[in-house]
Structures are given as C-alpha cells and as structure tokens.
Amino acid sequence: MRLSPADMEKFFNPESIALVGVSRSGTRLGGLSFLSKFIESGYEGRLYPINAKAEDILGIKAWPDLASLPEIPDLVIIAVGAPKVPDLIAECAEKGARHVHLLTAGFDETGTSEGKDLADNLVAACEKHGVLVIGPNCMGPYRPAARLTAWGAIPGLAGPLGIISQSGGMTQRLTEYTASLGLGVEKAVSVGNGSVTDTLDFLEAFGKDPAIRVIGIYLEGVSDGGRLLTLARDTGLDKPIVLLKGGETDAGARTAASHTGAMAGSSAVWEAVFRQANMISVHTMNEWVDALMACAFVGAPSSEGVFVLSGGGGTSVTAGDSFIREGLSVPQLSATAMQRLKELVPAAGSIAGNPLDLWKVFTDLDCLGSLVDMAEQEQDVGIILTERLIARNAFHMPETPDLTRQTIERLKERRGRKPVVFAVDSEGGDPWLASEGAAIRSAFGRAGYAVFPSISRAARALARLCRYYKKRAQMLTPKV
C-alpha cells in the first residue's frame, strides 16, 4: 500500500502544520488564506507560518525557514513558485518532514516543456528524499473531525464520506453542498495533478479506512486504468464508489488536458470500467451529491419497488413516470393494502393506489404514519418516497404549519424497517420558497433521511443505488 495508515494520519490528522509561502497580506488563494482558514475553523494543532521577513502573521509567530522550527511538522503546506519547489522538498527531508501538500500550480498541467521539466524534477526530488506529496496544483487534504478545513465548508461536518478529486473547486463545492444537507465527510482530498500520490493511492487507502462508508471520486484521468479497475472492483464490494468522470466528451477532455494535464480517455472505455468495477457513474455535481446521499442514508433496499406518497394528480402521474423511466418499479398494491387504504382514506375511493395522490399526507401525521406502516408490509415495496409540500399561497394553503420536525419525530419513533426518503421542491426564483425548501431538506438530511429537491432526482439516485446493490449481489454469488 502506497499510503500507510501512518501516512494517512500525518496527512489527515496532523498535530502540527508548517506553511511555506505565507505573505503578510493579500487576498489571493495561497498560504495566507490557508492560515486564516485554519484559524477560522479552529484547528487545534500547532501552526508554523514560514516567512523570513515577518515576526508574526495573523498573530501567529512566524519562522524564517523549516530548519528553525522547534519540531518536525507532521504536514508541510507549500505555496511558493513552482521553480523553488524541488529545493523545498529537500529542505523538508532534511528537517525530517515527509508529508507535503503542494498548493502551487505551474507544472505539467500548463502543457509547456518548462512545466513538464518542473514536474519531473519534483517527482525526482520526492523519490530521492522519500517525501510524499499531495499535488501539485491542488487544495490538498480536508478533514472536519480534525478541523483540517482550510477550504470547502467551514465549519466542516464529519460523516461517512471519503472524497477524492482532481478538482479543488468541485471538492470545495461538494463539501459545502453535502454539509448543508447533513451529510458529512470523513476525509476529502484534492489531488490535483497527482504527480507523486494520486487518486488510486487514496482510493486504496480510503477503501481500508473503517471510518469511510461511501467513496466519491471526481476523476479526469488515471495513469493506470488496470489498477483502477482492480482497486475499484475490490473496494466496491465493501463500500459504494460514486464516480463523476470529467472529460467524458471531446470538449470536456480538451479542457481536462489543460486543467490537470490528464488524458481523459474514450467514453466507451470508461463505461466498460464503470460496469466491470460496479462503480456508480454520475455526470454532474447534483447527480454526484444525490447518489452519495442515497448510498450513505438509504443502504441496500429489499426490493426495487417504490411506494410514492404525493399530492396532486399530475404530480403523481409524472412521479410514477420518473421512477419507471429510471428502471425502478412502482408496484401495484396488494389486495390487503388496498383494503387498508380504503379504511384509512375513504374519500380517496377508487383513485387510491401507487403513486398515491393524497394531499392529506402533508398535514396529517397519523395518516402518513399509517400509510408508511401499510407500505412496509408490501413485499414488492423496498423504498417509500414521500413528497413534502411547502405550504404556500399558490397552493391555497398559506397558513398550514410546517410539519417537518414532527414528521421526523414520528418516523424516528416507529423505527421502520424500510427506508423512507423525501422530495422537497422549492425550485425557481422565489427567495422565500428557496430558503424554506433548503431548511426543510437540511432538517431531513440532518436526521439521516435521504432528501432530494425533486422526485425525478430522487428516482435517478435511487435507481443508481439499486443497480449497485443488484450487481454487488451478483458479484458476491459464487460462480457454479
């Protein structure tokens, strides 16, 4: 294993961090901004800004060089010009520091011969001195539990995700996005060009990390497709891997080449890799988060059938369409369930079924609870999706109180055996509605319920989840 548990500890749980390339002022992303974010996030280890011209920076004592530090820093963050980097790697080694996050850009991603030479020198220096580098051209490690959060959501939220990314910006956004929905991150790493340690090294380490239950990857390219396939297939048997492949298309690949210097490869090859390794393939940030949430909060459903509780005829009709279109089923209810349904909602009469169009579920928690009970008894139902309507004027219900908290309490009390997931729509340009929707989604997510902003997005994420578990079961079945 390229990255040992001890290496992972240095990178993700450092007791001390030296920052090389910290100016005394400025607004650009760099050492100073990292230092200020460590302070803001309440990082509790020892921070050593390196600057020969400063006494202190942001109130923290500055040091002239690595050699003068009173201890060997667990992690060194380097944010100086690319040409100075190889010498700094040597300085780290002299001090005894072997774990470096290299923020600096300007290496092989530039596509120039100078950049390529600098990358070669960097790799050579690391090999010579036995130094492990994350980067260059990246945001590095992120771990909310250690308050190692110089970027992304601050404060971060600890949780079951392990994120590996060739894009710092995508990872910043992901951590913010998932944290807002109550879905936390154990470890995230922006690997950049991956010249020394790369996506595959972290995939291997995350696969063996007991605190990580679901892995998310943003990938533009890999040096060793065969190793990816083997690693992902093995890791995927233990925990789902949700992979967003950047540079799927010609235009994307062209941009990827200038972004991380990666050769993106042909989409047909990638599709084969995804399939053989049983990775969950997604195309956008939203799909990435939706699938991660389904994996983290839903688990393995007992069936691919969905019982849909919604309100409004057209909404129910299109909800049914959404699930079927994604390959799930919306099973007709058994005679027993239909009988129970008629007792529960006599007024629904002959139109009752699955999807169930019943506005009452938005306002009557007893009714909602009984319907969930009923659905749980259905053998063909593996997942219960409940739409939650935000009470408002356009629906002739401006004064109905929001029952999100009570809904969560009720569901927690009954300790159901089948997953209940939610869809809360607040799309558009209405700031009040958008804010309400976000707060309700956040509340469901923080309570551990998968939540989506539309039924169609729920359908797509749940279909991906079901396909993953189906294939996994096939892979685990011994061949006869």
Which parts of 153-172 interact with a copy of itself (CB under 8 A)? 153-154, 165-170, 172
SS3 at position 456:
helix
Stretch that binds a copy of itself, among 45-53, 85-93, 348-356, 465-473 (CB under 8 A): 348-356
Q: Which helix (H) or strand (E) holds 393?
A: none
Selected binder of a copy of itself within 2, 208, 283, 412 (CB under 8 A): 283
Single residue of 182, 194, 240, 301 touching a copy of itself by CB under 8 A: 182
The answer to whether 185 touches 161, Cβ cutoff 8 Å, is yes
The distance in angstroms from the start CA to the end CA of the chain is: 33
Q: Which of residues 50-109 bind a copy of itself (CB under 8 A)?
A: 109
Closest distance of CB 376 from a copy of itself, Å: 20
In the region spanning residues 403 to 462, those forming contacts with a copy of itself, defined by CB under 8 A, are 425-439, 441-442, 445, 451, 453-456
Phi-psi domain of 257 (left: phi exceeds 0; alpha: psi -120 through 50; beta: other):
alpha
Which two tokens mark 150? 């110089």
Query: Within 246-265, which residues bind a copy of itself (CB under 8 A)?
Result: 246-252, 254-256, 258-260
**Helix, coil or strand: residue 289:** helix
Answer for which of 12, 38, 142, 151 binds a copy of itself (CB under 8 A) is 151
Q: Is residue 357 involved in binding a copy of itself (CB under 8 A)?
A: yes
Binding mask 315-334 for a copy of itself (x = CB under 8 A): xxxx-xxxxxx---xx-x--
Tokens 């100086």 sit at which residue?
A: 80
Report, in Å, the least distance between residue 131 CB and a copy of itself. Answer: 25
CB of 111 to a copy of itself, least distance (A): 5
* 3-class state of residue 163 by DSSP: strand
Per-residue contact track with a copy of itself, 364 to 403, x per CB under 8 A? ----------------------------xxxxx-------
- Site for a copy of itself (CB under 8 A): how many residues? 99
Query: What distance in Å separates the CA atoms of residue 248 and residue 251, rounded to the nearest whole number?
Result: 8
Closer residue to a copy of itself, CB minimum distance, 431 or 478: 431
Whichever of 78 and 356 has its CB closer to a copy of itself, that residue is 356
Tokens of 20: 């090389």
Q: Which run of H or E residues covers position 118?
A: helix 113-129
Q: Is 303 in the site for a copy of itself (CB under 8 A)?
A: no
34 and 26 Cβ atoms separated by less than 8 Å? no
Order of strands, sheet of 280-282, starting from the edge strand that comes earlier in the sequence: 140-142, 185-190, 161-165, 214-219, 241-245, 280-282
Q: At 190, list the tokens.
A: 């922006």
Applying CB under 8 A, does 199 fall inside the site for a copy of itself?
Answer: no
Out of 311, 374, 375, 378, which residue is the one contacting a copy of itself (CB under 8 A)? 311
Question: Could you give phi then psi for residue 461, rounded to 5 degrees?
Answer: -65, -40
The one-letter amino acid at 447: A
CB of 251 to a copy of itself, least distance (A): 4
Closest CB 475 distance from a copy of itself, rounded Å = 28
What does the alpha-carbon distance between residue 41 and residue 38 come to, in Å, rounded to a whole number?
Answer: 5
Handedness of CA 30, 106, 52, 189 (dihedral sign): positive
Q: 120: buried, middle or exposed (CB in 10 Å: 19+, 13-18, 0-12)?
A: middle
Q: How far is the CB of 135 from a copy of itself (least distance, A)?
A: 14
Stretch that binds a copy of itself, among 45-53, 116-124, 295-303, 346-354 (CB under 8 A): 346-354
List 9, 16, 29, 123, residue binding a copy of itself (CB under 8 A): 29
* Residue 18 near residue 97, CB atoms below 8 Å: yes
Pick the piece of the chain touching a copy of itself (CB under 8 A) from 202-210, 295-303, 305-313, 463-471.
Answer: 305-313
